[in-house]
Amino acid sequence: MKPRKYLLLLLFCLFNCSDKIESKEIIDVIPENGNIENIVSVVDHGIKNDGSPIGTEINELVRQSYKKTLFFPAGTYTLTEPMVLPLDYEKNVNIIFDKNALVKSDTRLEALIKVGYSEMHYISDNSHRRFSYIEGGILDCYNADNGIIVNGLKQLVQIRTMSLVRGRNTHIRINVTDLNKNSSCDTKIDNVTIHGMSSNEEIYGIYIDKNCHDAKISDTFIYSTKYALFTKSAGHILNNIHILSWLTTGGKDLGAEYNYRETEGIRIESGGFFVFNQIYYDTVDKGIVIVGDNEPILMLDQNISYSYLDNFGTSFIYRDKKSSTPLRVKLSNSVFTIRNKGFTVFDFNVPLIGWDIDRKFTFINCDISNPHLLNPYDPALLQRVRNATSDALIYTNISYFDTDWHVLGALVTSPYRSLLRVDLKDDFTIDLDLTFTGGDLQMNDYKIANPGNEKFELGYAVKGDYCVLLFRPGQGQNYYPIINDMLGNGSFMPPPSKGEHYRPADYAVTDLPVVLLSDLSHK
């Protein structure tokens, strides 16, 4: 008889044994090619699931179950010490919790589960590596500094299909006990829900320490934490992650106008590459924060930034503007719904983008809702014209221009020349050859076509790393300006919204503009 038939016969017997009430539960979690002899129901070995305290017996059972899987039927498991799983691949112990199994502690613990903190015989031969996993159930992290700690020296650990709730510190932490031995943890987190206690306190969803590179996180929901992901290492790939900060379930409530103001979706304290696909930053003050002079490479596709709150949200990618060390950002196919005036997509040192001759920054096929709320100095605006030969800006439904100054757009400090064609009317065009490398604007050349009897002035005002271009007619009348960046090199920034009429005050310009051209200086 084939082994498969023996297994089926054994399962039939187990189904018909009334004194084995957990048998069907065990069978439900056996892998298709698994062996029921390797599935150990913990309640059959004296582990209580009625909420009464569990002592050293849980780790004694772990030591008796090397190369096996511990199954926790439905019930409440109250730990008095962390459950500690081995580092040695040859002694893997996997964990499967029933979906209605609750693990908690009534006393303060370092963690509920520690992976790779016993049998710590490090194996340098990668051929000995084996996948291990923790699956299912609910971990109540209220009295634990960490829900799960993974020693990154034990590679290929999987945490999947489970919930970690009520954490007041960290829900999942990945670190290494010896920084000299390993740099890649290869931890995989899949289909996990994390629900912290507050978005206003130092609460982390997932914390990845130094030298724990190459984590894979997918299909995960993290909410009510101040930091959804905090990482000090790189190489992480995230896919289909929902980050929600708009929730306080038991921690500090700072009041409606002050809650969630310091929340961060992903905090990066490392160089190296990161791939973030289909990440939903839901009512998060800053989507991605890059700390200090770290030089990450960010590959971002199909990201969503949205706020349920009015007057909320600071920036999508934030980095201290004083930092001039290089980084790379490739942002594509993403959607931004802006609810706070002055929101900035690329909130960091502007010259990094203006002087980007190697195309390290892109902003492609992205959609911005409520663009009139966007910071007019957001360098993401200039990315719209990268690699384009012409980009038109039209003031829709706003045609009357009075005799005050009006903003046409801005130049960012850059080594590139800007060839701008300003079509004010069908029969009135101004071509400008400009260079702005900081300081005063340099006009290399200009040409006015069909000026007729138009009376006008063109001027500019310098604001730090930006030069705001201004237009003032000699008399109030209708204009339909279209501005084309003829080189398409990305140093020109159109105003945020084509449906708005911008004035110098919208760009915080208070000084009188420098006159660049007037109706008396036709060439």
Cα angle for residues 369, 372, 374 (degrees, 5° grid): 80
**Model confidence at 33, in pLDDT bands (50, 70, 90)?**
very low
* Beta-sheet strands, E only, within 343-416: 344-347, 361-364, 367-369, 400-401, 406-412
6 or 162: which leads in pLDDT: 162
Q: What local confidence, expressed as pLDDT, does residue 388 receive?
A: 60
What is the tens place of the pLDDT at every residue in 135-163? Answer: 999 999 999 999 999 999 999 999 999 99
Domain boundaries, the chain: 400-518
Res 182 pLDDT > 80 = no
- Cα atoms in the 13 Å half-sphere on the side-chain side of 86: 23
Q: What local confidence, expressed as pLDDT, does residue 11 receive?
A: 43
Percent of the chain with pLDDT over 90: 70
- pTM attached to this predicted model: 0.90
Measured from the Cβ of residue 50, the count of other Cβ atoms closer than 10 Å reads: 9
Burial class (CB in 10 A: 0-12, 13-18, 19+), 155: buried
**Model confidence at 452, in pLDDT bands (50, 70, 90)?**
confident
Are the C-beta atoms of residues 208 and 174 closer than 8 Å to each other? yes
Res 27 pLDDT > 60 = no
C-alpha 19/C-alpha 320 separation (Å) is 65
Parallel/antiparallel/unpaired status of strands 428-435 and 442-449: antiparallel
Res 297 pLDDT > 70 = yes
122 or 226: which leads in pLDDT: 226
Cα angle for residues 310, 313, 315 (degrees, 5° grid): 150
Region 450-476: what's the mean pLDDT?
91
Res 435 pLDDT > 70 = yes
Q: Of 472, 463, 421, whose CA–CA distance to 440 is shortest?
A: 463
- DSSP β-bridge partners for residue 417: 435
Are the C-beta atoms of residues 350 and 332 closer than 8 Å to each other? no
Contact partners, residue 520, CB within 8 Å, separation at least 6: none
Measured from the Cβ of residue 363, the count of other Cβ atoms closer than 10 Å reads: 23
Res 126 pLDDT > 80 = no
Q: What local confidence, expressed as pLDDT, does residue 12 receive?
A: 41
Are the C-beta atoms of residues 62 and 87 closer than 8 Å to each other? no
**Model confidence at 8, in pLDDT bands (50, 70, 90)?**
very low
**Model confidence at 127, in pLDDT bands (50, 70, 90)?**
low
What is the tens place of the pLDDT at every residue in 331-354? Answer: 999 999 999 999 999 999 999 999
Q: Which two tokens stand for residue 114?
A: 């520690």
Q: What local confidence, expressed as pLDDT, does residue 122 receive?
A: 59
Considering only 187-201, 387-401, 499-513, which range has the smallest mean pLDDT? 387-401
**Model confidence at 103, in pLDDT bands (50, 70, 90)?**
very high
Contact partners, residue 28, CB within 8 Å, separation at least 6: none
Q: Of 257, 275, 274, 264, whose CA–CA distance to 203 is shortest?
A: 264
Region 276-284: what's the mean pLDDT?
98
C-alpha 366/C-alpha 371 separation (Å) is 12
**Model confidence at 472, in pLDDT bands (50, 70, 90)?**
very high
Contact partners, residue 220, CB within 8 Å, separation at least 6: 189, 190, 191, 192, 193, 194, 240, 241, 242
Positive or negative, the CA dihedral 139, 144, 145, 151 is: negative
Arithmetic mean of pLDDT over the chain: 89
Region 67-81: what's the mean pLDDT?
98
Order of all β-strands in the sheet with 170-175: 83-86, 109-118, 144-151, 170-175, 204-208, 227-231, 264-268, 286-290, 315-319, 344-347
What is the tens place of the pLDDT at every residue in 393-420? Answer: 666 667 889 999 999 999 999 998 999 9
Place of tokens 């503007």: 321
What is the tens place of the pLDDT at every residue in 356-372? Answer: 888 899 998 999 999 99
Considering only 113-127, 305-319, 437-451, which range has the smallest mean pLDDT? 113-127
- Name the DSSP class of 29: T
C-alpha 362/C-alpha 354 separation (Å) is 12
CATH architecture of 400-518: Sandwich (2.60)
Order of all β-strands in the sheet with 406-412: 492-493, 406-412, 466-473, 456-463, 514-518
Region 282-310: what's the mean pLDDT?
97
Place of tokens 């971002």: 300
At 404, which amino acid appears? D
Q: What local confidence, expressed as pLDDT, does residue 15 receive?
A: 41
